[in-house]
Chain A
């Protein structure tokens, strides 16, 4: 073998040793150095290049970012004995990788520890609260159907406490984690979804349907009522119009008759004898028609010349 080949092998050997003693920690990671399985020195929580004893020491990389925790929906009884499915999520962090490695070992195990801790805290808090406290977050006055107010639905009146509940679960988890010193810190906890079980849901839907049917009936009844009211008004108006017209026309005719009478009286009073005479003759003309039988005596004024 040539001399150059030995040099090449030597260079490769050096490279392996150097590369085994240097390592890079990037922005997403943090590293624990272990020696025969035991952690040595401080954890490397800043990014950059670091060194270690080659071969003897090995490195363990942990995530430095905020990590997910997604709970499964649990059915929990509330203080007012209603069952509710609560689906939650949390965000957490490996805050002390050395401690994390010692107690939780890896993310998967840590997740299952979190399951126990968070689910427990949720159960404790939810079962100690009324349904509407859990759903609502403030005590602002809500607009509801009149029928609901009338029935005095107490659930609506309860003050909302959702934010307080979430805050208190977060705090309880926080102190539990500290107590257990898992090297984990919780960043956030939230209630994602809430739902009823099937039976409660079906019952609710039935109630909602009957409520709507009631409202529909009310509209129809109101319509019928308005119709009758309009018909009543129609009759009222009818009578009003006709009677007013009757009143007015009687007034007009009465006045006219009175005026006529006055005119006649004024004219005829100028010589009432002549009027009587004249009028009587006029009446004779009208009433003594061709069928009248006249038996005229010769001493009648009209026949006085016959007698002579």
Chain B
């Protein structure tokens, strides 16, 4: 080896190297063999590629180079949205629903189309399975969720989907999804499947609103008619009541008058019977008194005069 080359490659001074290298190596080794697991995590350790153990949150030790650590958020609720996306999650959340018709429009059992929006919440319940059994877990959850909901919607009619069957759909879809995921041994547990909205697709939405409006029109018509009915009938009932009350009044009057007249007659009859002729005469005279005292047209003729009447001024007498 030439001298020049020898100058360029510095000779290794093992004594000096030992002084620095050893402590450095030690620090490096310690750093390499300690790891921390956060509170909502589990760590999975592979030793020489083989599964060794799953450790809970806290400080852990591993053999450097030989052990491989995978940290998994096991205590975390993951959420996937279908048919819509939350753009801003706040007190007043903002959602985007347009442009997800591929996801949300699905065939119902009576071959119509319903728009279904739903969310799925899940947790990793087995870190080892989650890490090593399925490639691309998230896509798998999405695929299965869509297949499950479509299957449930496909077996129900459009109106069932919109009305009565919503809870059943979510429940059955959840069971179905879990069954599929368990088949894959994916280490996921479905916490919640919830239908956020099941509505007619946008192009037909207005005709459904029209039905609601028609229902309201129907009620309005009935209410108006009932109002009119009540108004008239109360009035008529009042009139009828009045008619009957008046009749009752008449009846009382009629009977009382009769009783009064009868009692009057009976009273005078008693007096009359005591002295019939005298009473008769007196009554006659009293009558003549009343009749004649107010009358100006009195003509008295002797009983022997015959045929007088034709001579009287007929005009003055008002005889026609």
Contacts and interface: CB of A to CB of B under 8 A. Distances in A.
Interface of A: 1-2, 4-5, 8, 24-29, 46-49, 63-68, 70, 89, 91, 131-132, 135-138, 140, 142-145, 148, 153, 155-156, 160, 162, 187-188, 190-196, 201, 204-205, 208-209, 212-213, 215-220, 222-224, 226-227, 230-231, 233-234, 237-238, 241-242, 244-246, 248-250, 252-253, 255-257, 259-261, 263-264, 266-268, 270-271, 274-275, 277-278, 281-282, 284-285, 288-299, 301-303, 306-307
A306 B298 CA distance: 14
B218 A223 contact: yes
A234 B298 contact: no
Contacts of B283: 277-278, 281
Contacts of B221: 220, 223-224, 226-227
B148 to A, nearest CB: 9
B231 to A, nearest CB: 9
Nearest to A263: B258
Contact of A216 (B146, B210, B239): B210
Interface stretch (B29-37, B45-53, B92-100): B45-53
A293 B295 CA distance: 8
B112 A290 contact: no
A292 B261 contact: no
Contact of B160 (A143, A248, A263, A295): A143
A-B pairs, top 4 by smallest CB distance, nearest first, are A249-B247, A256-B251, A223-B218, A245-B240
A143 B155 CA distance: 11
A265 to B, nearest CB: 9
Contacts, number: 343
B150 A193 contact: yes
Contact of A230 (B113, B219, B226, B261): B226
Given A132-B109, A193-B106, A289-B294, 7 more contacts: A68-B140, A223-B221, A241-B233, A267-B261, A293-B317, A296-B299, A302-B288
Interface in B132-185: 132-136, 139-140, 143-144, 146-147, 150-151, 154-160, 164, 180, 183-184
B276 A187 contact: no
A29 to B, nearest CB: 8
B77 interface: no
Interface of B: 1, 11-12, 14, 46, 48-51, 68, 102-103, 105-113, 128, 131-136, 139-140, 143-144, 146-147, 150-151, 154-160, 164, 180, 183-184, 186, 200-201, 203-204, 207-208, 210-211, 213-215, 217-222, 224-226, 228-229, 232-233, 236-237, 239-241, 243-244, 246-248, 250-252, 254-255, 257-259, 261-263, 265-266, 268-269, 272-273, 276, 280, 283-288, 290-292, 294-303, 308-309, 312, 317-318
B112 A204 contact: yes
Given A48-B49, A144-B110, A136 B225 contact: no
A155 B110 contact: yes
Nearest to B276: A274
A215 to B, nearest CB: 5
B144 A292 contact: no
A155 B283 CA distance: 107
Contact of B237 (A64, A131, A218, A241): A241
B52 to A, nearest CB: 10
B299 A293 contact: yes
Contact of B143 (A192, A213, A275): A192
Contacts of A275: 265
Contacts of A131: 111
A194 B250 contact: no
A285 B287 contact: yes
A192 B146 contact: yes
Contacts of A196: 107, 113
8 contacts: A66-B186, A137-B154, A191-B150, A216-B214, A253-B251, A274-B280, A298-B300, A302-B285
A224 B208 CA distance: 21
A297 B303 contact: yes
A49 B292 CA distance: 156
Contact of A219 (B51, B218, B268, B286): B218
Contacts of A4: 12, 14
A155 B225 CA distance: 43
Contacts of A293: 297, 299, 317
A263 B255 contact: yes
Contacts of A70: 139, 143
Contacts of B14: 4
A47 B51 contact: yes
Contact of A267 (B108, B111, B214, B266): B266
B229 A193 contact: no
Q: Which of B48, B128, B143 has the most CB of A within 10 A?
A: B143
Contact of B284 (A153, A191, A267, A301): A301
A8 B180 CA distance: 57
B317 to A, nearest CB: 5
A128 B143 CA distance: 25
A259 to B, nearest CB: 5
Given A191-B147, A234-B229, A284 B300 contact: no
Q: Which of B105, B151, B283 has the most CB of A within 10 A?
A: B151
B12 A5 contact: yes
A24 B11 contact: no
Nearest to B293: A290
Nearest to A237: B233
B25 to A, nearest CB: 16
B222 A252 contact: no
Nearest to B257: A260
B111 to A, nearest CB: 6
A68 B220 CA distance: 58
A245 B113 contact: no
